Amino acid sequence: MAKNLVIVESPAKAKTIESYLGKEFLVTSSYGHIRDLEKKNMGIDIKNHFKPIYKIPEDKKKVITELKKLVKKAETIWLATDEDREGEAISWHLKEALDLPEEKIRRIVFDEITKKAILESIKNPRSIDYNLVDAQQARRVLDRLVGFEISPILWRKIRTRLSAGRVQSVAVRLIVEREREIDAFVPESRFKVAGLFSFTDDSGKKQTLKAELSRFLKDEKEVEEFLSKCSSSEFIIEDVETKPFKRTPSAPFTTSTLQQEASRKLRFSVSRTMLIAQKLYEAGYITYMRTDSVNLSDFALDAAEQAIKQDFGNRYHHKRTYQTKSVNAQEAHEAIRPTDFGRETISGSKDEKALYELIWKRAIASQMSDAEIERTTVKIKGSKLDDLFTAKGEVILFDGFLKVYLEDTDEENSENGDEGILPPVKKGIGLDVQSITATERFTRPPARYTEASLVKKLEELGIGRPSTYAPTISTIQKRGYVHKEEREGKEREYRVITLAQNGKLKKEIKTEITGADKGKLFPTDIAMVVTDFLMKYFPQIMDYQFTAKVEEELDEIALGKLRYEEMLKEFYFPFHEKVIHTTETSERASGERILGEDPETGLIVSVRIARFGPVAQKTDPNNPEAKPVYAQLRKDQKIETITLEEALELFKLPRVVGEYEGKEVIAGVGRFGPYIRHDNKFVSIKKQFDPHTITIDEAIQVIDAKRVSDSEKFIKVFDEDPTFQILNGRWGPYLKAGKKNIKLPKDRDPSSLTFEECVELANNKEETGKSKRTSRKKK
């Protein structure tokens, strides 16, 4: 048995590390956290200085048993969990759960899983950093206090199964506020003017030059007046200005910037990026992926220099150091980078290769020379115009880091066109007008958040840390507060007025698609209602500055400058009083809006959050006892913006679509979504159809597809008793005996089962059920 036992969190990580150590080392895994807070009483002893009460989950008891066996046989225990607060806490939990004496423990950390880094960490062990452990526990306890105390209020006052969280609720607030900005936005029309000019250069070659007016024109009348002046103007190049400038590479990736750029360039979700990065780290390809540092080690700087000079030449190298914003020295290690700059590609999945390539390019580009660019601005003057037309172009004199990498941006509302290469021009050249076109453009609302831009905003506000971005964004989607979707947009007309070469004006009406969104975060109605409720009763929890201040205090705890129980005490007791007051005094919230009166019935039409989602309802103001009539809102409708007319349309369901096989086909919306009903059978409508507009041909298509699907499920039906059926299910073949579904044993062939064998299986299932019920009663 090896004298040294190394414990890490992940089996993949264990396998990689074991390959670097000798026979005296055995590397094993704890499979993540091995303890968690109890659910009972929040898992926190508030009276005893907010002491956390931990419990080993059932699925980890076997892991603990195995680890204890290995610990008994080893002389030294090396705790090699990740180098952040979460990893430090896992090491501490292992110490506590395995009853490890301090003198037997060696804590080692490394920011890359390479042989050099592992052997170096073995030479420089340390003890567990209890300040980092306290910081992790403080975050966990604080989040548990907020979630466990506010969530029950939401259940009572709004709807069951809702949740609140210190960071998640603030993230939802950002998305809700952005959506309301968009709803309140009124687009304004204006005209963008572009001219196409021609001239003959010194070699006698005909050249064209596209330029734009330096301002927008406000309306069609101003456009006509302007184009009229253009038709009688002579145009010359008034000025040509050429300026050199340099473009500098971005810093190597931090967790946040990696998530943002992977979203823009690779269309990865934040959680997907972190999952793939974790695999790359555990395989030894990249350094640790949870960091807010942009620093590179001296070793990395030297390795990057060697790779750049070898691949691109000496001129392309420029050594750079970047400054880290984080004040927490414990976590300000290295930026995310390749462990080997000479390895441009790796083996692995398509996603792993793509993310590694992105990390390699960003890191190598950060140590490359500036791009040298020449920017030319051409100003065109019309003899009867006060405004200038401007053409801009760029020429790359030396590509520098652009040879490898160019960062993307989230900017969507830029009105600037692409800058290209201009033809050779000189001051004073006369120009002929080919055409001048004024195109109607509309101001745009703020862009909805993507996962990447939300991470960027959270980071700007100081909310969360590298390890929290991905779980926060995943949580708000899983809890139903936010959903990511694509919207096709709507068609909109716009005007185009063109001054042709013959001096005549041509007016056209064209169409464009506006409001199309891809991969954006949309808040649900319940998110709006919950956010308003929390803003009203718990403004401190929802305050951006307060949430950022908590992160700063957690950093201070990690540095040993603040005791975590002091921080929790200052927060909790005023907060708990607010919880009690809100529970006793707050009113139920449903986001209800009264839209008006149904002109046909006189009933009051309103919308609100109901048990299964947003609904429109009709109520009789003269008879409070009368049962309301309900209709579910459509997916693209919101409680805050739906109109009376739109709500009345919802009550037209269920509707008769037509007739099929001599029976009515009815479309409607039920508890489980849109459906078609035919011959007393219900069929769910897929996303491509709308119950309000589905045609009889489309409905028949849905019905027939369901029949084919159902026929494929049947393996066997028994004449002795049709309620006994053997079917194919999602998890494999099963026996349907009346209302009970019984999983078939793996050693039974479903197609050859007899009726008697099926009865036996059903009876055995019944006996097992009775035995379990009896056992529970005895307990």
Catalytic positions are 288
Nearest to 285 by CA among 380, 349, 242: 349
Q: Which long-range contacts (CB under 8 A, 24 or more apart) does 20-23 make?
A: 20/114, 20/115, 20/118, 20/119, 21/118, 21/122
Q: DSSP of 600-659, one letter per residue? A: TT-PEEEEEEETTEEEEEEE-TT-TTSPPEEEEPPTT--TTT--HHHHHHHTT-SEEEEE
Nearest to 520 by CA among 379, 410, 401: 410
Cis peptide before 11 (omega within 30 of 0): no
Tokens of 537: 């009763």
Rounded to whole angstroms, how far apart are CA atoms 324 and 346?
29
Rounded to whole angstroms, how far apart are CA atoms 114 and 287?
9
Rounded to whole angstroms, how far apart are CA atoms 488 and 688?
12
CB under 8 Å to 241, separation ≥6 — which residues? 376, 377, 378, 379
The three-class DSSP label of residue 357 is helix
Rounded to whole angstroms, how far apart are CA atoms 153 and 584?
10
- Find tokens 């019905």 and name the residue: 703
> What's the one-letter identity of residue 20?
Y
Q: Which residues pair with 498 in a beta bridge?
A: 437, 506
- Calculate the alpha carbon distances from 372 to 246, 314, 547, 745 in Å: 5, 16, 42, 71
Half-sphere exposure of 425 (CA within 13 A, CB side): 32
The three-class DSSP label of residue 250 is coil
Rounded to whole angstroms, how far apart are CA atoms 734 and 721?
16
Rounded to whole angstroms, how far apart are CA atoms 453 and 35?
34
The three-class DSSP label of residue 22 is coil
Q: Taking a C-beta distance cutoff of 8 angstroms, is the pair 724, 735 a contact?
A: yes
> What's the one-letter identity of residue 470?
A
Residue 180's Cβ-count burial label (10 Å; 0-12, 13-18, 19+) is: middle
Q: What angle do CA 220, 222, 224 make, to 5 degrees?
A: 70
> Where on the phi/psi map is residue 65: left (φ > 0), alpha (ψ -120 to 50), or beta?
alpha
Residue 505's Cβ-count burial label (10 Å; 0-12, 13-18, 19+) is: middle
Q: Which residues pair with 379 in a beta bridge?
A: 239, 390
- Find tokens 């190298």 and name the residue: 317
Rounded to whole angstroms, how far apart are CA atoms 82 and 9?
8
Rounded to whole angstroms, how far apart are CA atoms 591 and 589?
6
Query: C-alpha 761: how far from its chain's center?
Result: 46
